[in-house]
Amino acid sequence: MTNSEQTSVLITGANKGLGLEAARRLGEQGWTIFLGSRDECRGQAAADKLADGGANVVMVPLDVTSDESVTAAVRIVREHTDRLDVLINNAGAPGKAIAPADATVDEIHSVYDTNVYGPIRVTQAFLPLLRAADHPRVVMVSSAAGSFAVVTDPEQPVSKMHELAYSSSKAALNMITVRYAKALPEIKFNIATPGEVVNRKFAATDMNHHTGQLTVTEGTDSIVRLATIGADGPSGIFVDRLGPVAW
């Protein structure tokens, strides 16, 4: 069993990029890291790397698009702890940036399966463990592309990114998070985007072929801040590393 005094966090899609960096940073704070990864080999390699750095980490095979995988992940986490302090829904799919006129339902569905249904599936499955914690938090990793204010601002690069799947999935995730926050006040539900909206910057990750201007560490600032929010902190907010993001 994991030490019941340690703060525990499950991070989906944590074998690389923002998820792995968030795991590293929280592991350095002495947290128990449940490292969720769809690819078991890559997940174990990432977990081993964190463990070599001194982190207390458990690799959890986790495909957020699969009910069976999520159910198995709950069993694994329960083998180590009777509560979960923080859930970071980080796993995401970029889609293929297909123009609206050419986008099909199949394309939309495949992105929603990871970016929308995935966080719902994982959150619902882990609610009992979250409710068992003294101060549970859920962090949804979204995007400035999910903000109506950003997408309708002609000065923002994303306003010229003509696609349907990714941006609409993140807008849906934002609303889902607010709904959770309103309905479950005993849990802090908040949204992080890994960028600087006002400066029109985003973090360099595999998803954007490392074209972002911010480091992966800078990209996780908002995620880590919301993961470590105090019991008297807000719920239902949308922030980047510099502060609130307009809806």
Tokens 């609303």 correspond to: 175
Nearest residue to 181 (alpha-carbon basis) of 222, 215, 143, 140: 140
Q: Which two tokens stand for residue 34?
A: 């449940």
Given a contact cutoff of 8 angstroms between Cβ atoms, the answer to whether 149 and 247 are in contact is yes
Nearest CA-CA partner of 205 in 43, 18, 13:
18
In sequence order, the β-bridge partners of residue 195 are 202
Pick the catalytic residue from 16, 49, 112, 166. Answer: 166
166 is catalytic: yes
112 assigned to active site: no
3-class secondary-structure state, position 47: helix
Please tell me the total number of residues recorded for the chain in this structure: 247
Question: Do the bridges between strand 238-240 and strand 243-244 make them parallel or antiparallel, or are there none, so unpaired?
Answer: antiparallel
Strand partners, 33: 9, 57
- Dihedral (C-alpha) 52, 56, 61, 64: value to the nearest 10 degrees? -120
Q: Which of 112, 170, 180, 201 is catalytic?
A: 170
Torsion of Cα atoms, 137 then 91 then 210 then 222, to 10°: -10
At residue 80, what is the residue type?
Answer: H
3 state SS of 139: strand
Residue with tokens 């539900």: 189
Kindly list the catalytic residues. 166, 170
